[in-house]
């Protein structure tokens, strides 16, 4: 009986798995970041909730400009990242369809894409931290309570609604 798992199938599965892992790292996942209390994740992915915080903060003109800059940059970055991931996946599949594909070169490209995603993530985080730095103490407290609530809600969702961590 001939095995269905030829070396080509195994290598392809390995590369696709590594690609998915690199993409997940570049994009980030709820499970990794909620536990780490990474504020920028919630700022980037919870823009509907952020509108509520925005209204509660009652920003002045300077703060509003910083907010709009961070929001536009985050949305643009997210859209560009989606397109980059799509193109990277297509490119990787095209290369893997070629006999004798160089896995080392493919993985190097994946590493470069992950590093570019990390730098973009840091730039977005820095924009949101500039907004935070511009807040007065009362606004900072509102922001703290907002993110505390978001993390507690995420913990509740992730533990199956049991109301606590273990």
> Per residue in 20-59, pLDDT tens?
444 444 444 333 334 333 444 444 446 678 888 999 999 9
Q: What is the pTM of this model?
A: 0.61
- Crossing angle between the packed helical segments 103-134 and 61-96, to the nearest 10 degrees: 170
- Pick 4 or 166 by higher pLDDT: 4
Residue 82 contacts residue 120 (beta carbons within 8 Å): no
Query: What's the rounded Cα separation, in Å, for the pair 103 and 113?
Result: 15
């Amino acid at each position: 009986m001939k095995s269905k798992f030829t070396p080509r199938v195994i290598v392809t599965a390995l590369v696709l798995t590594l690609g998915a892992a690199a993409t997940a790292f570049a994009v980030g996942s709820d499970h990794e970041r909620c536990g780490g209390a990474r504020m920028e994740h919630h700022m980037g992915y919870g823009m509907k909730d952020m509108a509520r915080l925005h209204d509660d903060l009652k920003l002045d003109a300077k703060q509003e400009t910083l907010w709009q800059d961070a929001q536009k940059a985050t949305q643009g970055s997210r859209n560009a990242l989606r397109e980059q991931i799509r193109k990277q996946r297509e490119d990787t599949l095209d290369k893997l369809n070629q006999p004798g594909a160089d896995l080392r070169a493919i993985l190097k490209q994946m590493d470069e894409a992950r590093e570019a995603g990390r730098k973009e993530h840091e730039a977005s985080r820095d924009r949101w931290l500039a907004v935070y730095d511009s807040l007065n103490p009362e606004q900072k407290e509102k922001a703290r309570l907002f993110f505390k609530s978001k993390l507690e809600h995420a913990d509740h969702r992730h533990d199956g609604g049991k109301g606590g961590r273990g």
